[in-house]
Structure 1
């Protein structure tokens, strides 16, 4: 079996929600809960439109969908409260995440680049026993624009001491893939139902982090690192 990437990244930058933590469903449930509170029935189109975007942008989209743009801040606050509750009740990793993180940490520095609040990211990863493997967690701030802008990936690569073009991003959403590509990283896309644009932009795509071809690549890189 040929390797999916014939090179060892200088650093690997993971998205969190939907990629490492099975929490994209929590975001969707939280969005649905808030929208229904305002008398709106969520649609599949809205679910795709809001996937992976910064939570403040999601609040704005929800307010527009509810035809109440002035309530964007209020809906954003309710969205975050609902999401935090759901994550606290059921913090679950995605298939293959534990093994992949542990093994990739043996041959490359790891970082997380997320659109979520820092405390949500770190608490989820800590509960899952994964946070200790990551050297850096990068989230939007006053100086760092959220995905799909490239800032979080550029900051993550720099924090790991690597050039973006030598790094691998691991992403599940179109928003995140756009961010990583704009930053110059190579991209592994993850998920069972990628859209056309995501497939076109990613360097390789797997259904989950537990994909056999990806795990074989991770193992081969880990063994090469150990042999050095």
Structure 2
């Protein structure tokens, strides 16, 4: 079975926001007199909006409802994006390069409001045939839901699709859905060895994400 379509992650693949997310959420938690748990940052990478806001409210102890936490943090993130969009070098070119050959989808853990804003600012809205947030499916990453939904919207068997991911939970999500996994490990937040082992291809930069490399995956 050959690869017929490609699904991109957003955070850590197209935009370098993991450090921004951590800074914003740590600051927010600290303002309420709380601290991250030892595994909070790792757990939240890939979680849907509902999942991470519930974690901060119920597990970390921020004295706000999950809905209030989500609204507070997303408002701060949107403000940071308006100030400056931290595009990863080569990401826009990589998306456009693959869009000339493959149907593309986006499967992101970011909220819909942030997805739309990022793609509009980056000039990539028209590059994707469909975009999905994990808040629009039952479970966030590492569950396969968002990748199954994305490939379904594209009209392809997941095994005929490739995923471009950076985080442990993202790699696990794509692997569980049956896609061929391309890993672009984040320098600051590298994936766990078991998650990286799911990748059919590991690349150092998005300049290495070529049509030829994707075509050879299967």
| Deviation for aligned residue 1:86 | 1.2
| Cα distance in 1, alignment partners of residues 164 and 106 from structure 2 | 9
Which moves more between the two structures, 201-210 or 141-150?
141-150
| Cα distance in 1, alignment partners of residues 72 and 59 from structure 2 | 15
Q: Is the 8 A contact 2:32 2:63 kept in 1?
A: no
| Cα distance in 1, alignment partners of residues 170 and 97 from structure 2 | 23
| Cα distance in 1, alignment partners of residues 154 and 102 from structure 2 | 9
1:137 matched residue in structure 2: 131
TM-score with structure 1 setting the length: 0.82
Which moves more between the two structures, 165-174 or 49-58?
49-58
| Cα distance in 1, alignment partners of residues 6 and 215 from structure 2 | 17
**Which one has the largest radius of gyration?**
1
1:220 matched residue in structure 2: 212
Residue 105 to residue 198, structure 1, CA distance change in 2 (3 Å):
same
Aligned length: 213
| Deviation for aligned residue 1:63 | 2.3
Q: Where does structure 1 lack aligned partners over 5 or more consecutive residues? A: 1-6
Pairing 1:162–2:156 present: yes
Which moves more between the two structures, 179-188 or 47-56?
47-56
Residue 43 to residue 94, structure 1, CA distance change in 2 (3 Å):
farther
Q: Where does structure 2 lack aligned partners over 5 or more consecutive residues? A: none
